[in-house]
Structure 1
């Protein structure tokens, strides 16, 4: 059995088809894969913050997080979104177990940058919690809130949390989005980069082709590859078959590689 970390972005969460969850359950029941889900919830957090009159802003795709805002982030991620994902997997006849990175000290973190407030950098992941759940037949569903030794909570970008978990499990990593992959302008058309290297990613960020929330996504992907994650791809979750195609070794979405044969085909 191989571990497969699936990160569902907040932007795509509400639009994911039922078949997406059914295919995760199929992979789990195949006897080949242990799926582990890490989820975001950005748009839902934005909506609740707006209703509460709390202003929010981002730096390089990361939400500047105050203590007041952290309560809202945790409420949405660990409460509403986490339990919805568990519900959808249960409806697809899977066994899911929802938890936060705070639970049992699953994800430990430290402050990333004082200018970002309570945004964390992952320092460790307690892999045994995840592996034990998988071996008992559950699909872990993880909310990216972390904690430090003093009990301070941190908001972790979902892509970064997923990459950190994939690293300790040496798992393949799928970053699920609402677009087919990294897209660039080529002559008169917008094309998907089927394979892109670390150097090319850095250049695309410098050229401001990759912006906003895609920046931490690709940086997390490359960091995972550097630390023994065997394969990383950005997939379109609205195409319900993309996950099955990826696991079958087909060319789908954008595959990120270190420096080897990257092409724009």
Structure 2
């Protein structure tokens, strides 16, 4: 079955067909800029632009930067407010002419990392965190996703945590790696206090530069960089779409799949 994964981000919408057994892209990913404003109609068309590059798909998995419940987008912290309570899965399916599954972007990245990457075969509570335009979170208990945690929005120093420690804030304030590492440490310690996870998997584009700031962070919980980097959302979206086509139920790690 040809499954297409599409990842909607703050700056770009990117996608590719995915081998959901090996956790690999089957073709070079195609990317278009995220429309500004990122209203429903414009983003649906951007997704269609990406999908048109890969004809022949049977199902599509799409990530969204917000809470997604039963295919409906419930929040829109970093995209246009027209997405609040939009029937996203239905809109995408009508435009693409194929069954569509929609899930939170950090959840999708986490699904990929737990299936094929840095979180593979980890027991207990694993937490995926993506540092980008905001801070995304995904929780897994013994490999099963607990969806829509949105822990980037916990209060830290009197404000939304992502306003303190996202990669966008690092860039906007031209922070040194030392200063930003201190902010990330503040955030990780706060989440550590709340949940006591066994492992943090740190993703987002900035994870490619883990050597710059990981050595500056001191927390009790082990933390590792994401292995799949910017392809994690695409791969996780496709895995979720495959599972949705097989049977309803919670998103779980594909059992017995070999690492890529």
TM over 0.5: no
TM-score by length of 1: 0.30
